[in-house]
Amino acid sequence: MEQIYKGKTKDVYRDTNGEIVLFFKDDMTGKDGVFDPGENQVGLTVEGSGLAGLKMTTYFFELLNKLEVPTHFISSDFDKNEMRVREVTTFGDGLEVICRYVATGSYYKRYGKYIEDGTKLDTPIVEFTLKDDERQDPVASKETLVALDLLNEEDYNTIAALTVRISDVVKEKLADKGLELYDIKLEFGRDKETNDILLIDEISGGNMRVFKEDENIHPLDIGNYLL
Amino acid sequence: MEQIYKGKTKDVYRDTNGEIVLFFKDDMTGKDGVFDPGENQVGLTVEGSGLAGLKMTTYFFELLNKLEVPTHFISSDFDKNEMRVREVTTFGDGLEVICRYVATGSYYKRYGKYIEDGTKLDTPIVEFTLKDDERQDPVASKETLVALDLLNEEDYNTIAALTVRISDVVKEKLADKGLELYDIKLEFGRDKETNDILLIDEISGGNMRVFKEDENIHPLDIGNYLL
């Protein structure tokens, strides 16, 4: 297999048959050894975290496929920490979309003048961010994403609607186990063959903030409740 | 007159008859002695800059009043560097709305991965920002402004439409003199009596970036072309 991308928490390969293979590493985003889904760098390495992420991602992607939400998922191999996926093109160098149910993290940092950390939002707030380490993944509006030629208005609306739909599924599954989803980060791409917009990357503890009452659940522990 | 607010470039008084009086100071926003409309602090003091700002503001507010665009303007006294205005309530501690015709300044800093400095935008881009020095005046979406309880959706749409209308007037007047408006920052409030949304504060060289061909025109020179 040929390596085509080296990511922070995953490496990407193209198999000899053309399929794309994601290898889930044991690296997590964070700072100084402390996990933080809002961080842009690898902050710690935890044995087994790659497999935990793959298992949760597989659980959610299989569920979403059943619900006919379009994802890039084909199959997983837990023995190899690998997930096979459809090949996609990204929007520019990648678009991450955050769905917020509770104001915290970077949202609180920006708007702390008017909102307390941990405030429940009446309706989920969707924010599109550009993958750009150098500029700390800036938030971008629909008008800006169109101006930057990354997508058109219809694409934006499709992705925003998919984001709420998918996040609501995750939120509900967590709620069934007594957990509360504060926010979640999703990634989208375009199917290289069909041009459809697909959910890509992963849905794992590393992409979300989850609480049980007032206790922040460690990303690697979420799976223990869920799976 | 009682001073009710001490601003970076203007002080605000309430007259004995209840009218609000803005005193235009000779302080300009910038850094290390260099003017920058995107800066959040006083960076330089230039004799005559207060009066220049008042004169341009008066010119535009009188023009906008003729065009039936609602502003807080009542009258100006050039001998005293003062402008009398209707009393307003602000949205929270103040909302500044930027209209961008060309990608530069903080917009280029955020989105420089995908756009070159100085790129003309196909349609003007409107950005709402919160006055919050500590958090560098964060940009906020419609959904966020509603969540922060600063305005409702109808208010947002009214302000966004007024912003483009007003900015287009300024742009056209500058174009008549061979100048190009790159971006402009406006401020809005609510009339304390009627509750109408009004353009407030000022429209002066200190709130806009103006170019003549490739040359950035100093804010104090814009009036020489215009008035």
Residues of chain A positioned with their CB less than 8 A from the CB of B98: none
Of B110, B114, B141, the CB nearest to A150: B114
Q: Are residues B113 and B34 in the same domain?
A: no
A157 has a chain B CB within 8 A of its CB = no
Residue B83 DSSP label = E
The CATH number of the domain holding residue A119 is 3.30.470.20
pTM attached to this predicted model: 0.93
Check residue A39 and give its pLDDT.
80
A111 to B140: CB separation less than 8 angstroms, yes or no? yes
Written as six digits, the tokens of B105 are: 């300044």
Q: Which residue of chain A is at minimal alpha-carbon distance from B126?
A: A143
Q: Are residues B20 and B63 in the same domain?
A: yes
Q: Are residues A96 and A51 in the same domain?
A: no
B127 has a chain A CB within 8 A of its CB = yes
Q: Which residue of chain A is at minimal alpha-carbon distance from B100?
A: A144
Is the confidence at residue B30, as pLDDT, over 90?
A: no
Closest approach of B159 to chain A, Cα-based (Å): 16
Residue B133, SS3?
A: helix
Range(s) of the domain holding residue B31: 2-85
Check residue B60 and give its pLDDT.
98
Is the confidence at residue B20, as pLDDT, over 90?
A: yes
Is the confidence at residue A110, as pLDDT, over 90?
A: yes
More confident residue, A157 or A31: A157
A96 has a chain B CB within 8 A of its CB = no
Q: Are residues A50 and A106 in the same domain?
A: no
A143 to B123: CB separation less than 8 angstroms, yes or no? yes
Q: Are residues B76 and B106 in the same domain?
A: no
Is the confidence at residue B10, as pLDDT, over 80?
A: yes
Q: Which residue of chain B is at minimal alpha-carbon distance from A127?
A: B141
B70 has a chain A CB within 8 A of its CB = no
Pairing of β B2-6 and β A215-216: unpaired
B116 has a chain A CB within 8 A of its CB = no
Q: Are residues A80 and A100 in the same domain?
A: no
Of B113, B125, B135, the CB nearest to A147: B125
Of B92, B109, B121, the CB nearest to A114: B92
Q: Are residues A105 and A186 in the same domain?
A: yes
Q: Are residues A214 and A105 in the same domain?
A: yes
Three-class HEC string of chain A: CEEEEECCCEEEEECCCCCEEEEECCEEEEECCEECCCCCCEEEECCCHHHHHHHHHHHHHHHHHHCCCCECEEEEECCCCEEEECCEEECCCCEEEEEEEEECHHHHHHHCCCCCCCEEEEEEEEEEEECCHHHCCCEECHHHHHHCCCCCHHHHHHHHHHHHHHHHHHHHHHHHCCCEEEEEEEEEEEECCCCCEEEECCCCHHHEEEEECCEECCHHHHHHHHC
Band (B41; pLDDT cuts 50, 70, 90): confident
Check residue A35 and give its pLDDT.
82
Give the mean model confidence (pLDDT) for residues B208-212: 97
Q: For a pLDDT cut of 70, what percent of chain A falls above it?
A: 100
Q: Which residue of chain A is at minimal alpha-carbon distance from B128?
A: A141
Is the confidence at residue B8, as pLDDT, over 90?
A: no
B89 has a chain A CB within 8 A of its CB = no
Closest approach of A108 to chain B, Cα-based (Å): 11
> Mean of the per-residue pLDDT values for chain B?
95
> Mean of the per-residue pLDDT values for chain A?
95
Give the mean model confidence (pLDDT) for residues B201-218: 95
A150 has a chain B CB within 8 A of its CB = yes
Q: Are residues A55 and A110 in the same domain?
A: no
Q: Please, are residues B37 and B29 in contact by the beta-carbon 8 Å criterion?
A: yes
CB hemisphere CA count around B56 (13 angstroms): 25
A135 to B113: CB separation less than 8 angstroms, yes or no? yes
More confident residue, B39 or B197: B197
How many A×B Cβ pairs under 8 Å?
Answer: 72
Domain termination site, one of A85, A118, A151: A85
Q: Are residues A211 and A118 in the same domain?
A: yes
CA gap B125, B164 in Å, rounded: 9
Q: Are residues B119 and B211 in the same domain?
A: yes
pLDDT in tens, B63-82: 999 999 999 999 999 999 99
Check residue A29 and give its pLDDT.
83
Give the mean model confidence (pLDDT) for residues B93-121: 97
Name A180's bridge partners.
Answer: A211
Instruction: Please count the structural domains in chain B.
Output: 2
Is the confidence at residue A28, as pLDDT, over 90?
A: no
Band (B38; pLDDT cuts 50, 70, 90): confident
More confident residue, A206 or B113: B113
Q: Are residues A58 and A131 in the same domain?
A: no
B143 to A130: CB separation less than 8 angstroms, yes or no? no
Domain termination site, one of A34, A68, A85: A85
Of B111, B132, B143, the CB nearest to A125: B143
Band (A173; pLDDT cuts 50, 70, 90): very high
Comparing B33-37, B64-68, B196-200, the range with the smallest average pLDDT is B33-37
More confident residue, B27 or A164: A164
Residue B60, SS3?
A: helix
A121 has a chain B CB within 8 A of its CB = yes
B114 to A148: CB separation less than 8 angstroms, yes or no? yes
Of A125, A147, A150, the CB nearest to B144: A125
CA gap A164, A162 in Å, rounded: 6
Is the confidence at residue A74, as pLDDT, over 80?
A: yes
Residues of chain B positioned with their CB less than 8 A from the CB of A129: none
